[in-house]
Amino acid sequence: MRILLVEDEQKVASFVKKGLEEEGYAVDLAADGEAGLLMALDDVHDLIILDINLPQKDGIEVLRTLRRKKKTTPVLLLTIRAAIEDKVIGLDTGADDYLTKPFAFQELLARARALLRRRTDAELPVLKVADLTLDPSSRLVARGEETIELTAKEFSLLDYFMRNQGRVLTRAMISEHVWDYSFDTETNVIDVYVNYLRKKIDTGHNPKLIHTVRGVGYVLKVE
């Protein structure tokens, strides 16, 4: 799961980014409306957390442009003004939810999860490949009867693999969906994580599900 955070207040931005990363989300940060809009138009994010008061372009304008361009990524608006008009304009423009500053991180996280869940529930309920299951709502992963404990990052990686069952995923594709823009694709971090995941998913089980496609990347499939 990859989240775009558009927030110009550095303190809030780094606190939210850090918190979300600890929960296993990949987070891209934009410090003004113009940069935020450009990143949002890439269409690689599962959720956008958008501050209303931003330099260059305000959040409402960013949101309006996104919706006009038929981008349906869920948007959680951040506002310091508790004014009814702000909320109404935001929701009318196509925001999915809003949060008034100051907020507790736990509340932001709960709302972010709800929006992500709404999206995943609508798309796919429980993911299943052979006897491997992943439930996006409860975040439970199991192989047959055996529950598998994954770290937040491993979970995101497996979620991406399972949504693309049978499709060869290059390191670039994996980094784009599971890590953020600042991720250095020259490192072997992806291979290391795929190996961790493979140990937990495949060791002691048949059929093997994660396969290496030499020189290209990885594929999750039943062979």
35/174 with CB nearer Ca ion: 35
Q: What share of the chain is helix, strand, coil (3-state, %, to 5)?
A: 45, 20, 35
Q: How far is the CB of 83 from Ca ion (least distance, A)?
A: 15
53/65 with CB nearer Ca ion: 53
Q: How far is the CB of 32 from Ca ion (least distance, A)?
A: 9
Q: How far is the CB of 5 from Ca ion (least distance, A)?
A: 12
51/86 with CB nearer Ca ion: 51
In the complex, the residues that contact Ca ion under the rule CB under 5 A are 8, 51, 53
Q: Which residue's Cβ lies closest to Ca ion?
A: 53
8/61 with CB nearer Ca ion: 8
Q: How far is the CB of 78 from Ca ion (least distance, A)?
A: 8
* Peptide bond connecting 74 to the previous residue in cis, omega within 30 degrees of 0: no
DSSP state of 84: H
